[in-house]
């Protein structure tokens, strides 16, 4: 009993700490993940005789398929190309090791999740404070994150903070204010980062909030009209009053109308075109993890991309979807669909639970999955191990909360 209490407290500490450390301490995300996986495996062995091994139900199978599909597609591609590089499995392994977290936490007392909601708010507020005192006004970044990843993750923390309102119980005014400040801080960091691709997720988050609200059917059309009007009004006001938004949107318009292809957006379009061509050459298993980078000089010589685009393409395709398409072909795209859409389906199903705890966790989970669906359009989010770790761990934690087995036994 004493060991179980210590383990539970340790899990709570990790759930609070990892959103706080995500954007502030290099290696903090990975450390929290390793500790949580270790604790989960420990609890699996401790509780093996009491039933965890018997809970190989449909949810676990679906989650297992979702989190293992990426690593399988990489293995298939390596086998096809007769190559082997353990480095290619770094990010994908984070998804795979999230499975024991889901298996164990859905059987754990649901109160163990309580610190997570505060960690989300504190994490967003802390990175907002750091960016303010750093004096950065444009393309804000940290010592280990470029502006795109910083802005997208801060935005995610902010919305998860406010989405967690009234999760465990009806929140006090102080807690609501804390979570709203978390949202404001996340929005601020996103704006100052200038990460335009992440801004496209904001309307998605608002729609999740509306469509999954308890009484969404009451006046749904009016709510949607008001939301769309508010988004348009907010976009116009933001463009006119927030300097970084004005500058970044003007830059996007300039890129779209520029004669030279070597603009920020122009280079992306070139790389995406190259990815499609490489996919057509190897449609089933792709050109391999390094195939895109190795093809850049050849494609520059043939005029498919400019020399500048080729140099950038050796490092990143600037889209997780096009990168997966070129590198791992149809097998990779199937794994990508499983990675996103299976958890999304499970969260959506849990959103109709009779328990408030499940519904709020499901809403937060949909925020994570749909947010990353948008983020991955313009950047290879999972190139960074810490971001793959954040996605895998957060989906596992929130899905284990949304399907937690102890809620009905304790609450009515």
Residue range 253-265, pLDDT digits in tens = 666 666 578 888 8
CA–CA gap between residue 182 and residue 172 (Å, rounded): 15
pLDDT, averaged across the chain? 90
Least confident of 79-83, 146-150, 173-177, 408-412: 408-412
Least confident of 95-104, 201-210, 397-406: 201-210
**What pLDDT, on a 0 to 100 scale, did the predictor assign at position 410?**
46
Q: How confident is the model at residue 411 (pLDDT cuts 50, 70, 90)?
A: very low
pTM of the model: 0.93
What is the widest separation between alpha-carbon atoms in the chain? 70
The pLDDT of residue 149 is above 60 = yes
**What pLDDT, on a 0 to 100 scale, did the predictor assign at position 241?**
67
DSSP 18-40: HHHHHTTSTTHHHHHHHHHHHHH
- Which tokens in the block code for residue 69? 């599909």
The pLDDT of residue 89 is above 60 = yes
Contact 183, 127 (CB under 8 A): no
CA–CA gap between residue 95 and residue 215 (Å, rounded): 35
Q: Mean of the pLDDT values across residues 365-377?
A: 97
**What pLDDT, on a 0 to 100 scale, did the predictor assign at position 55?**
64
Q: How confident is the model at residue 212 (pLDDT cuts 50, 70, 90)?
A: confident
- Which tokens in the block code for residue 64? 């297992």
**What pLDDT, on a 0 to 100 scale, did the predictor assign at position 243?**
74
Q: How confident is the model at residue 249 (pLDDT cuts 50, 70, 90)?
A: confident
Burial 66-104 (b: 16+ CB within 10 A, else e): bbbbbbbbbebbbebbeeeeeebbebbbbbbbbbbbbbb
Domain ranges in the chain are 2-54+98-208+351-410, 213-257
Q: Mean of the pLDDT values across residues 353-368?
A: 96
């Amino acid at each position: 009993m004493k060991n179980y209490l210590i383990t539970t407290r340790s899990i709570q500490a990790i759930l609070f700490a990892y959103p706080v450390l995500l954007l502030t301490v290099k290696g903090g995300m990975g450390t929290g993940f390793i500790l949580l996986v270790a604790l989960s495996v420990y609890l699996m062995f401790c509780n093996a005789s009491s039933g965890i091994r018997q809970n190989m139900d449909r949810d676990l199978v679906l989650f297992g398929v979702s989190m293992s599909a990426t690593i399988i597609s990489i293995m298939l591609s390596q086998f096809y190309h007769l190559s082997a590089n353990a480095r290619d499995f770094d990010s994908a392994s984070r998804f795979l090791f999230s499975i024991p977290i889901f298996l164990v936490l859905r059987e754990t007392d649901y109160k163990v999740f309580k610190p997570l909601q505060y960690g989300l708010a504190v994490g967003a507020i802390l990175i907002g404070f750091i960016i303010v005192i750093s004096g950065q006004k444009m393309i804000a970044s940290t010592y280990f994150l470029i502006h795109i990843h910083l802005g997208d993750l801060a935005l995610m923390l902010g919305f998860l903070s406010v989405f967690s309102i009234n999760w465990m119980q009806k929140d006090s005014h102080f807690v609501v204010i804390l979570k709203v400040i978390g949202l404001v801080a996340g929005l601020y960091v996103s704006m100052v980062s200038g990460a335009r691709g992440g801004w496209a997720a904001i309307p998605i988050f608002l729609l999740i909030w509306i469509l999954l609200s308890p009484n969404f059917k009451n006046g749904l059309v009016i709510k949607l009209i008001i939301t769309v009007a508010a988004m348009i009004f907010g976009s116009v006001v933001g463009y006119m009053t927030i300097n970084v938004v004005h500058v970044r949107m003007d830059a996007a318009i300039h890129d779209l109308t520029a004669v030279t292809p070597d603009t920020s957006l122009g280079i992306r379009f070139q790389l995406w075109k190259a990815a499609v061509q490489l996919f057509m050459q190897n449609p089933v298993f792709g050109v391999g993890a390094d195939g895109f980078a190795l093809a850049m000089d050849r494609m520059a010589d043939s005029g498919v991309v400019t020399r500048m685009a080729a140099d950038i393409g050796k490092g990143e395709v600037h889209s997780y979807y096009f990168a997966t398409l070129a590198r791992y072909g149809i097998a990779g795209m199937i794994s990508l669909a499983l990675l996103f859409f299976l958890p999304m389906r499970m969260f959506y199903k849990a959103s109709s639970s009779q328990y408030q705890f499940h519904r709020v966790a499901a809403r937060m989970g949909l925020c994570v999955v749909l947010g990353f669906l948008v983020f991955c359009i313009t950047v290879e989010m999972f190139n960074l191990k810490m971001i793959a770790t954040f996605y895998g761990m957060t989906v596992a934690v929130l899905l284990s909360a949304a399907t937690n087995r102890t809620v009905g036994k304790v609450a009515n």
